[in-house]
Amino acid sequence: MMRAASWAYLALAYLFIFLPVAVLVAFSFQGGRLPVPPFQGVSLKWYAQVLGNRDLMAALGNSLIVALVSSAMALVLGFLAAHALARVRLPGSVWMRGALIAPMTVSYLIIALGLLSLFNQTGVRLSLWTVGIGHVVINLPLCFAILYAAMGDQQKSAERAARDLGASEARVLWHVAAPMLMAPMAAAFFLSVTFSWDEFIIAFLLTRFDVTLPVEIWSMLRSGLSPATNAVGSLVFLVSVTVAIFGELMMRRRG
């Protein structure tokens, strides 16, 4: 009885999580002009319309650039910080780790407003670069946490052996530390890409004319519901899930 109840609860939980996504995907193939019942036949015209929309394709390109560049920067900074705090005992290192992870507990709205105020006071023009900086701020703690947790005694021993053989610190990082952390580094990078790809609040507040895909989707929704917005959402969901699964597989490979 308890086993059946557990399975029923699990099924309801998954239904609650994935039913909106299933509805979104299903009505992206709606043949009519509105993504509401009744279903009026299967059509791919909305996907063709989305792929032929220049503004959407430009926003897609912007999102890819911001996601890849900001994730790479967050990965490098997170790796260096994790390696330093895992290898060297510094006064207040616990507080340093807490400060690096703290942005994960702060609302994206607060981070975006703080960065917006900073950029306005320093005269920095809002652009995709400022969005990228915001995404580095939110993704660096994730990269740091994953890489710090992955650094074990085996890697410490390998790095110590490399130093004993005369390798410089830069060569130890490049030839020993980084290769041994390749799987968690890949997972951290692709998870960062996923978060940057979907992020809206920072992208909305820290840019003006060159918008990212979530901001462009929001602009489309202002004119009303359409199966085209469902098609865009389905494509975004597909990319996000693919990247997240790839990152999870990299973590399982390490395990």
Length of the chain: 255
Q: Which residues of 94-121 are buried (b: 16+ CB within 10 A; e: fewer)?
A: eeebeebeebeeeebeebbeebbeebee
**What pTM was estimated for this model as a whole?**
0.78
Poorest-confidence range of 8-12, 62-66, 183-187, 244-248?
244-248
When pLDDT is cut at 50, 70 and 90, the band that residue 92 belongs to is confident
When pLDDT is cut at 50, 70 and 90, the band that residue 169 belongs to is confident
Those residues whose C-beta lies under 8 Å from the C-beta of residue 208, and which sit 6 or more positions away, are: 126, 127
Beta bridge partners, 30, equal 42
Provide the pLDDT for residue 34: 64
When pLDDT is cut at 50, 70 and 90, the band that residue 136 belongs to is very high
Provide the pLDDT for residue 234: 79
Decide which of 52 and 39 is more confident.
52
Those residues whose C-beta lies under 8 Å from the C-beta of residue 101, and which sit 6 or more positions away, are: 141, 144, 145
When pLDDT is cut at 50, 70 and 90, the band that residue 186 belongs to is confident
Decide which of 141 and 220 is more confident.
141
CA–CA distance, 224 with 96 (Å, rounded to integer): 47
When pLDDT is cut at 50, 70 and 90, the band that residue 57 belongs to is confident
Over residues 134-141, the mean pLDDT reads 92
CA–CA distance, 80 with 102 (Å, rounded to integer): 17
CB-based burial of residue 3 (10 Å sphere; 0-12 exposed, 13-18 middle, 19+ buried)? exposed
Over residues 170-183, the mean pLDDT reads 76
Over residues 29-47, the mean pLDDT reads 69
Residues 73-85: pLDDT tens digits? Answer: 999 999 888 888 8
Over residues 179-200, the mean pLDDT reads 84
CA–CA distance, 191 with 139 (Å, rounded to integer): 9
User: Is residue 131 pLDDT above 70, yes or no?
Assistant: yes
